[in-house]
Amino acid sequence: MIDRDLFSSETFDRDATYNPVLKSEPVRFDSDLKAFDAFLVGAASRGAADISIMSEGRPRIKVGGRQYMATKRILLRSEVDFLVGHLWRSADAASIINQGRALDFAYDIAVDRNTRQRFRVNVSGVMRDGAPGVEVTLRTLPNVTPRFEDVMFEPELIDYLNPASGVIVIAGGTGHGKSTTMAAITRHHIENRDNARKIIDYQAPIEFTFADLLTEHSDSASFIAQSEIGVGRNFPEFSQAVWASLRRGPSIINVGEARDIESIKGCLQASVTGHIVNTTTHAGSVIEALRRMVFEFPSAEQTARAFDMISALQLVIVQRLLKRADRPGLVAVREYLLFDEAVRERYYENSVDNWAHVTSGLMKEARTNPAILARSTGETARRFLDDGIIAASEAKRFIPRAMFAD
């Protein structure tokens, strides 16, 4: 349990470079782990989206998109090494980092009897003044499963999240809310009492536990089985997890990231065998998402795999988080394309090299043809600009000049 009396009572000053998290810092955090956990929870309560701790440096917190120093003193290398072991809950953390590998996992703290604060943790090796060190980045995770309205999910897409089978891809850059959107989609399935489902969920690490949702709907026949991907976790790689899931009888498989050949092949195979597969990839547009997944395969296989992928795809959504102008926070600006039979035929009729042209043509045609469900990032940004949700400075990065002229 966390003693909230340890938290700083000073008002947060956005213009200051230093905003203390604790009233009084211990001489060393590694000799007072309760104070360290209180520091993490206190940073989250101050609105920190990220907490950065580096050997021989002062911890920083990121609040409202800006970085602030959060302690008065520098944390020593030995101190940070010990804290990494505490977070990882194993003494082998240092040896893993020394092998040139990174750690990516979740850490949670019991705040009180009813509340836990979770963090996504990355530990990477760094050099500090010519000496090896580590950087720890903790991302604050929400305790409440997001709803569609929380992520401003497009209502016109909801009816297409429940196909008989197929792959739904959510793409975007790191930190642009892909996992949050997938969690909202999963919530939608769990809350659908007319169609109870077994959902298998793979995350690296587990960001959303759905504990609040499963408690609220404890009388529902739907349930979710979660496995964590990573070193020393339930499965070392997504690829192994996806293939294992085919023998577990799920209706829906959530794959945190289709990141390599085997995980992509697993997603395609799962869709062929009658499953809905929700997954993510790193891409900035629909065509980039298609290209990224196809180009993971050896050149000799790319054409065949590309057409397999088009057959499996149901929906591709790409999102970027932009600063809101109407209130503090971020909003997801999305591009999407629904793959129905008519759209698939457009791709089948063209070579893979011409798919970029096919995609841009579908995006343009969708503006006047209601039979095509598609929208470009520029169109979404334009709508948000007109509604006052984002500022022109944000919107101009994504809106073509011709669309911005008026």
* CATH code linked to domain 4-141: 3.30.450.90
pLDDT of residue 216: 85
Q: Tell me how far apart the alpha carbons of residues 108 and 114 are, in angstroms, rounded to a whole number.
A: 13
pLDDT of residue 401: 66
pLDDT of residue 338: 98
Residues (pLDDT < 70) of the chain are 231, 401-406
Superfamily of domain 148-404: P-loop containing nucleotide triphosphate hydrolases (3.40.50.300)
Q: Is 362 strand, coil or helix? A: helix
| φ, ψ of residue 383 in degrees (nearest 5) | -65, -45
User: Per-domain residue ranges for the chain?
Assistant: 4-141, 148-404
Q: Is 153 strand, coil or helix? A: coil
pLDDT of residue 342: 96
Structure tokens given for 129:
């003044």
Structure tokens given for 90:
């194993």
pLDDT of residue 405: 55
Other residues' Cβ atoms within 10 Å of the Cβ of residue 379: 20
Give me the half-sphere count of Cα atoms (radius 13 Å) on the Cβ side of residue 273. Answer: 17
| Greatest alpha-carbon span in the chain | 69
* Spatial CB neighbours of 338, under 8 Å, sequence gap ≥ 6: 157, 160, 314, 315, 372, 373, 374
